[in-house]
Amino acid sequence: MKGKVEAFRALHVPGDPLVLFNIWDGGSAKVVAEAGAKAIATGSYGVAEAQGFKDGEGFPLDRALDVLGGVLRVTNLPVTFDMESGYGVNPVEVSGSVARAFAAGAVGINIEDRMPGEAALIPIADQVARIRAAANIGIFVNARTDTFRGQPAESHGALVGQVLERARAFADAGASGLFVPFTTDRAALAAICEKSPLPVNIIWNPAFRDRAELAELGAARISHGHRPWAAAMDWVGAAAKAVLGGGKPPYDGA
């Protein structure tokens, strides 16, 4: 398993980012793997919603791990598992939850720095303890910071220092990557990519031109989050309306 974790780590190259087209079950994982993916990533939002639950650890860990098992049954690619805030109220619980994901076969996880339903960031010292508990399992920890969440776009440049403070602390705790969502500020992202001690994960946004633009900023990983699931559901909804309204199925001839 250690070799698979290291192989996954090696895919994170600043300037040549790994692209993760996030999936939500075994079927979507199989399709994405066959499309040429180098690794597979679950997205907590799509995984929960696909099972009729809400994001924010409302989807029980046992059931989330069942989804992970279904993904692992259809691919030998490295799989990283979105664990939201770590499924634990303290580092001991986080360690236990992450150990279960690792034992199931995940080579990586995402872990957020705010608790489910909370707007405030977890204090750095507390988050460091949670990340260290996860990293000690031997898994690739993609440490997310929600520093930009809910902040006006014009303030993002001024928040770079706070992001980097967390990046350094998370790196010291054993994190393997830094996930920075909720901003499309190119200058801020470029500064973070340049100065972060960890390879930076940027989430795709229509405001970006393409992979090449994010590569130029220094990204090492690009995630697509809930967008693939949402797009698939939009298609299903539109197709259902057409068929139930007496129209022609959009998949005729496919």
Domain covering 2-244: architecture: Alpha-Beta Barrel (3.20)
Q: What is the pLDDT of residue 78?
A: 98
pLDDT averages per 10-residue partition of the chain, 254 residues: 92 98 98 98 96 91 96 97 97 98 98 94 98 98 97 96 98 98 97 98 96 98 97 96 91 70
CA distances (Å), origin 250, targets 35, 92, 109, 227, 254: 22, 50, 37, 21, 9
Q: Give the predicted TM-score (pTM) of the model.
A: 0.94
Q: How many whole angstroms separate alpha carbon 220 and alpha carbon 79?
A: 17
- Residue entry with tokens 């994960």: 201
At residue 202, φ and ψ (nearest 5 deg) are -110, 140
Q: For residues 137 and 204, what is the distance between their CA atoms, to the nearest angstrom?
A: 29
Cα 32-37-39 angle, rounded to 5 deg: 105
Domain ranges of the chain: 2-244
Q: Tell me the β-bridge partners of 142.
A: 110, 177
Q: Determine which helix (DSSP H) or strand (DSSP E) holds 222, and give its type and residue range.
A: strand 221-223
The pLDDT value recorded for residue 160 is 98
Residues 6+ apart with CB under 8 A from 93: 86, 87
Q: Report how far apart the first and last C-alpha atoms of the chain are (Å, whole number).
A: 40
Report how far residue 184's alpha carbon sits from residue 87's, in angstroms, rounded to the nearest whole number: 28
CA distance 218 to 221: 9
Look at residue 166 in the predicted model and tell me its pLDDT.
98
Could you tell me if 221 and 20 are in contact, meaning their C-beta atoms sit under 8 angstroms apart?
A: yes
Comparing C-alpha atoms, which of 102, 74, 70 is closest to residue 86? 102
Sequence-separated (6 or more) residues with CB below 8 Å from residue 216: 15
